[in-house]
């Protein structure tokens, strides 16, 4: 004959042990093994219940109640642990140390050259220039060595051909900026890329003179690089402008005293420019007696190098996330 007190004690011990193990279960497999052990058909609780019949009739009720309570508590603990483990395993941290710091989310960002292009276009937008684009493959004969696609068709070596396209299709006044990729058979070195972004600018109207041209460029240089940066116009030759000038800015690294970045000169070239040649106006059907204008073409990656103090243009093209992450 089994002692009722002994049976109730055993039930309480099974319940206590079962609850502790269920709450500590580290995986769904472990939890299932515990369910079988404590609540299964041939588990500990069922084993106890099968012995109730051996207890005196007057005690069976108390033992039955204790058994039912133990069963209910174990079932509830099992259900809540199962929910917790399922949730944890679905995010892959069932076994993980939940106090560990989270993994940092990988953020994208705007490429530094694109940022610079956007900033330059914004400065010219404020001055009344609109943004236009032109084709990268164009029939052309020009003074830079480029890539040939088919008879007479090249990958453009600069954005200047877009000037003619605009003037052929629009009457003056014209004020446009043209961002776009250009291609040259240049060696890929610290200051040259075989494919690089330029921003072309063109302004044509009655009464535009060299003073307006110069002050527009100076305004841009001050807005973009800051008041302390000065611009210098150096005589140059381009077939479609007269007079032509290359624009240099004072070196941001040494302030103009001469260093390795500016090759000891104190100046860094940022663009080619000039007053539009009257022959260009004639070719596009504008009256050269009535209209004058200026044009410029700047290298966006070279300007980004100046802005961010980058010594080698190739860094912009490598797509190295560690380099790019610095510009977010």
Phi-psi region of 285 (alpha: psi -120 to 50; beta: other; left: phi over 0): left
Identify which of residues 240 and 327 has a Cβ nearer to ligand FA5 in the complex: 240
Residues 6+ apart with CB under 8 A from 257: 266
Of residues 43-82, those binding ligand FA5 (CB under 6 A) = none
Q: Which two tokens stand for residue 18?
A: 């079962």
> Exactly one of 35, 78, 158, 252 binds ligand FA5 (CB under 6 A); which one?
158
Instruction: Find where tokens 């008041």 sit.
Output: 227
Q: Are residues 163 and 240 in contact, defined by beta-carbon separation less than 8 angstroms?
A: yes
Please state, in angstroms and rounded to a whole number, the distance separating the CA atoms of residues 227 and 83: 64
Please state, in angstroms and rounded to a whole number, the distance separating the CA atoms of residues 135 and 142: 16
In whole angstroms, the minimum distance from the beta carbon of 233 to ligand FA5 comes to 12
DSSP secondary-structure letter at 104? Answer: P
Of residues 76-115, those binding ligand FA5 (CB under 6 A) = none
Q: Are residues 197 and 135 in contact, defined by beta-carbon separation less than 8 angstroms?
A: no
In whole angstroms, the minimum distance from the beta carbon of 107 to ligand FA5 comes to 28
For residue 10, state whether it binds ligand FA5 (rule: CB under 6 A). Answer: no
Of residues 231-290, those binding ligand FA5 (CB under 6 A) = 238, 241, 244, 269-274
Task: Give how many residues touch ligand FA5 by CB under 6 A.
Answer: 24
Q: Which region, judged by CB under 6 A, interacts with ligand FA5, from 84-92, 107-115, 258-266, 291-299?
A: 291-299
> Exactly one of 299, 304, 305, 310 binds ligand FA5 (CB under 6 A); which one?
299
Identify which of residues 217 and 298 has a Cβ nearer to ligand FA5 in the complex: 298
Please state, in angstroms and rounded to a whole number, the distance separating the CA atoms of residues 60 and 50: 12
Binding site for ligand FA5 (CB under 6 A): 158, 160, 184, 186, 192-193, 196, 198, 238, 241, 244, 269-274, 295-299, 301-302
């Amino acid at each position: 004959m089994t002692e009722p007190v002994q049976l109730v004690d055993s039930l309480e011990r099974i319940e206590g042990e079962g609850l502790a193990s269920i709450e500590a279960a580290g995986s769904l497999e472990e939890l299932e093994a515990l369910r079988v052990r404590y609540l299964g058909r041939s588990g500990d609780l069922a084993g106890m219940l099968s012995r109730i019949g051996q207890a005196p009739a007057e005690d069976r009720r108390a033992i039955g109640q204790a058994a039912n309570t133990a069963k209910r508590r174990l079932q509830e603990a099992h259900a809540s642990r199962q929910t917790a483990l399922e949730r944890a395993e679905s995010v892959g941290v069932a076994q993980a140390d939940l106090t560990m710091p989270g993994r940092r989310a990988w953020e994208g960002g705007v490429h530094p050259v694109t940022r610079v292009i956007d900033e330059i276009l914004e400065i010219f937008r404020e001055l009344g220039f609109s943004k236009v684009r032109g084709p990268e493959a164009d029939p052309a004969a020009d003074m830079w060595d480029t890539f040939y696609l088919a008879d007479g068709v090249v990958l453009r070596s600069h954005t200047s051909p877009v000037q003619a396209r605009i003037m052929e299709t629009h009457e003056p006044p014209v004020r446009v900026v043209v961002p776009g990729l250009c291609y040259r058979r240049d060696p890929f070195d610290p200051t040259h890329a075989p494919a690089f972004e330029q921003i072309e600018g063109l302004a044509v109207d009655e009464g535009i003179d060299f003073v307006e041209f110069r002050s527009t460029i100076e305004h841009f240089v001050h807005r973009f690089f800051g008041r302390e940066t000065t611009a210098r116009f150096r005589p140059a030759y381009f077939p479609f402008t007269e007079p032509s000038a290359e624009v240099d800015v004072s070196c941001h690294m040494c302030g103009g005293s001469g260093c390795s970045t500016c090759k000891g000169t104190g100046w860094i070239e940022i663009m080619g420019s000039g007053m539009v040649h009257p022959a260009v106006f004639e070719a596009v059907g504008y009256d050269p007696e009535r209209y004058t204008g200026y044009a410029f073409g700047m290298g966006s990656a070279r300007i980004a190098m100046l802005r961010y103090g980058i010594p080698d243009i190739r860094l912009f093209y490598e797509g190295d996330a560690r380099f790019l992450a610095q510009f977010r």
